[in-house]
Every structure is written in C-alpha cells, then in structure tokens.
Amino acid sequence: MKPSSAVENALNVSLPKKYCNLIDDENADKLYDRFTTYIDTDVVSIIESNRGYILERDSIDDLDDGTFWGSLKRLFIHGSRKNLLKQRQSMFTEWIEPRHFIIGGDYGEGMYFIKLDDPECHVYRFDLETGKTRKKPYGLSKYINYLDELSQKNT
C-alpha cells in the first residue's frame, strides 16, 4: 500500500494529489532525513500529527476510559473534563472543519500545514506562540525548493 493510501485510510481523508506524490516518492525518506521535521514523510508520524480527523468532537474517551484510575490520570495530565472537551471542540473548529492538515513543524515554534481542499497545496505556518497563521508565498513544490536552499546554507 502506498504511504498516501495508508494515511487516507487511517484518517478517512482525501489528500491533495501533489501531497500524495510527495509522500509516495521513493526518495521521501531522504527528504525526511534532510529536513527532519519541516516536512514529515513518515506515515505513522503523519497520522499521529493529524489524528484529530479520527477523534470524536464531543468525546474524550481516548483520554479517559471511565475508570477511577483513568479519570485520575486524565485529571493530572490534561485537567478537568469540561476544559478538555472545550479544547477538543476548539481544535475541531480551528483545524478539522477548515480541513487543515499538518505536514511538519520547526522544532516547537510553529507547525506547517496545507489545506486538504487546495489542489495547489499552498503551505501555511501556524505560530504556536502567537496563535497566528501565515501563508507561505508558495505551493508545496516551492516549499521543498526553499527547504533545499535552507539545507544547503546549513551544511
């Protein structure tokens, strides 16, 4: 099974063709090695980054199994059930409903994403500190070229 098909099946989404071509490329692993997290080509990691597509909006059963120990664990790690549900619903409103799809990040300061309904695969950066999104001035192929240039400068 192609990596793009595995991602689509696991998350129940349709990926843009340009993104499919990128992660299905035989050299995708080399790309991942060069750019570490800026563009993720590892299927398991892609699925984990975008697992919101398979979660339920109004349920936190994946974080709290309903047992005493499960509730205690959830409380210490994630906080109250009410706040956790509020965060989950916010994630759906801000990420899942607009069809944002995480393709990588830059070491904790930002996340790079595409929109699943954009065939040109324009790349966006979400700044984790400010909560603001900025559209990169290029599509996916130019983003890869930019990363190539960045890689050459750093070697």
pLDDT by residue (tens digit) across 50-106? 988 887 777 767 666 778 887 777 677 767 778 777 877 877 788 788 889 999 888
Computed from CA positions of residues 75, 128, 118, 141, in that sequence, does the dihedral angle turn out positive or negative?
negative
Is residue 105 domain-resident?
A: yes
H-helix or E-strand containing 61? Answer: none
pLDDT of residue 26 exceeding 90? no
Is residue 91 domain-resident?
A: no
* Residue range of the domain that includes 14: 3-56+98-153
Number of domains in the chain: 1
Is residue 76 domain-resident?
A: no
Rg (CA), the chain: 17
Pairing of strands 100-105, 133-135: unpaired
52 token code pair: 């919101």
Is residue 121 domain-resident?
A: yes
Pairwise CA distance, residues 98 & 151, whole Å: 31
Task: Supply the angle between the helices 68-78 and 81-91 in degrees, to the nearest 10.
Answer: 60
Average pLDDT of the residues in 23-47? 76
Q: Which residue has the higher pLDDT, 114 or 70?
A: 114
Q: Which residue has the higher pLDDT, 34 or 19?
A: 19
Q: Which residue has the higher pLDDT, 32 or 18?
A: 18
How far is residue 73 CA from its own chain's centroid? 25
- Evaluate whether 112 touches 11 at the Cβ level (below 8 Å): no
